[in-house]
Structure 1
Amino acid sequence: MTWQGPGRPLQAVAVPGVRLQRGDALVRVDLATICDSDVHTVTGRRPGATPCVLGHEQVGRVVDADPHARSVDGRRLLPGMRVVWSVVVACGRCVECHRGLPQACASLERHGHAAVRRSWELGGGFASHVHVRRGAAVVVVDDDAVPDEVLAPASCAVATAAEAVHRASSLLALAAGGAAAEALRGQVVVVSGAGARGLAATAMATQAGARVVVVEASECRRLLACRFGAAAVADPGESRGPLSLARALAQVDRSGRHRTVALETSGSSAAVALLVDTVGVGGVVVLAGPVAPGAAVPVLPERVERGLLTLTGVHDYAPASLVAAVAFVSEQRHRYPFAELVEHVVPLEQLDDALRLASAPGAPVRVGVRPGGVGGR
């Protein structure tokens, strides 16, 4: 299904065949999910190439692969393998790639974002098949018991959350001279937004030993955040009372000395200023929300300097974060209700309706799109 631009209906396009290049694979999509950035594109909040096969959160099975196609752990990709793959297609040779920043590759291309062209007609997940390009990180899922609904969001929302939590942990460890794996233990982490990214980050930080406070306007999502491990929740619209952020922080950290990390996952400019004011001395603020044009953020240099704060951004992720995301949702799916994030699943033929549902006020955390119907595998 190709997107033609804001306000225009999607068009079904038949692709009679795909010519795989060295290192490429063809994957049959089992389930794709609609990401916030897909919503921003179709509603015109962010620019997008046209015509384009959108969709970059998905899980599927290899149906064909070039002999040189490999997973991130070096396995040759073979028909029948169940896989999750990255948004980013990186060259692996440029300065940015060598710095460990493939998401900033000098010749970057992105699944689900590129315009349809002769050599790459099936670039996105809202299709029966995806042409996964060499340079993408591909993770093989060996456990067939993990539901599609758990795995599909791993390739964007959960992997981005993993990147954000890793960034915060690494910066804290760097300052303290300790191990990143233990950096969050006993700390207070404030997460702005209880969408898929925020909920995944909440679960990951909780699992790492942190006490997490989630700031979210929706009551339903605040309740969901508690099921993902939040120790307390707050409403950003409340400046005082039981749902204020001050009250929530007092519940988990009366001394105020452990408020070291804040993760912005909602894409809200107002939330950035709030989080900068919330973290304590030596704190880390990570911006990891959906990327779209927004208002300028007033941040006082004095607050950053005197507070010894680190303000950093995450856009997409490195391959290690995709590996971590797939492992986390697979291993922790019984502890945290990842499968329930995909509240509705519709056939691919109803993608227009699915996008409208995902764009509506009070939308589900994720809407799933399944080629060939909704029966599942």
Structure 2
Amino acid sequence: MAVIRVELAGRAYDVRVGEGLLADCAAQCGALLRKKDVPIVTDANVSEHWRETVTASLVDAGYTPHFLVLDPGEAAKSWQGLEGVVEWLLGKGVERGDHIVALGGGVIGDLTGFAASVLKRGCGFIQIPTTLLAQVDSSVGGKTAINSKQGKNLIGAFHQPALVLADTGALATLPRREMLAGYAEVIKYGILGDRAFFDWCEANGAKVVDGDAEALAYAVEQSVAAKARIVAEDERETTGTRALLNLGHTFGHALEAETGFSSALLHGEGVAMGMVLAARYSARIGNISADEAARVTGAIAASGLRTEISALGLTCSGKELAAHMLHDKKMDAGTLPFILLNGIGEAYLDKNVAMDDIATFLAQQLD
């Protein structure tokens, strides 16, 4: 098991990466469980695969797990979904000093973490991410949120978990499409700030997606370590460093919005296309060469991820697609910063991008 420490003043916590952590969750979480009753929020898909394993571990250690099983999918991240979780937790008598367990992917982690942040003005929670995307990205760093009709993750809070257990063995149950979506967040760390890791992803991306144990463990550990470093430096995204983690997300969220935040485009798939667009736009404005942009596209495509937004069959215009970006939570004083590239492994924050040029660029990509 690898242990990556997220260093935050007074609130540091471990991210533990390895196989078998779900079966050992009672021992892993025991120091944080004050009561014998353990509230766990999950979804139906995760419950089917891992409820018995988690239950056996907790019961054998003398705990009584209580599960709230939600319908899978992004629709759970809503006001209604938040209300349901909070009312259930209140009904279970959760106190401020207790810890709620979020067992699932990014949706469960975001929703449960936000519920924990507002319940009795903030109680603890433990992340047990069961998807690749959640293990390498959303479970680490304390961003919690629900969606609005106006856009994705617009209502939320920074609320750090007390512990993250990333069981790489749990990824064996994931459909290939989910593994691909998670891999987008893995290669992101190479593109934005670590050219050597990008080179490794170019050579080993297919192994990660195929579930090769050694490659998967390395990918998760390196990704978590990269995010931990960035979060420690800029927890609340005030200096611009943490904003680099949004590489691909501004473009990607616009694509998600246009497809109705539905299964037509998973979050990681949108991020993958968004990184391609960010690389191509960086080449358009002369920051990088067309060859480098093509290399980013090729590395993402080699894993099996789609790279062309024309494949989505969208009927909107470039201007309409760009308009979705104006609801982005990163809007500041009427301007929208973009994460672009000065090279592979050299992302930067650009606050001077003209939205009319973005609309023109997107129109060309839609053709």
TM-score in same-fold range (> 0.5): no
Q: Structure with the greater relative contact order (CA < 8 A, sep ≥ 6): 1 or 2?
A: 1
TM-score by length of 1: 0.29
Which has the larger share of helix? 2
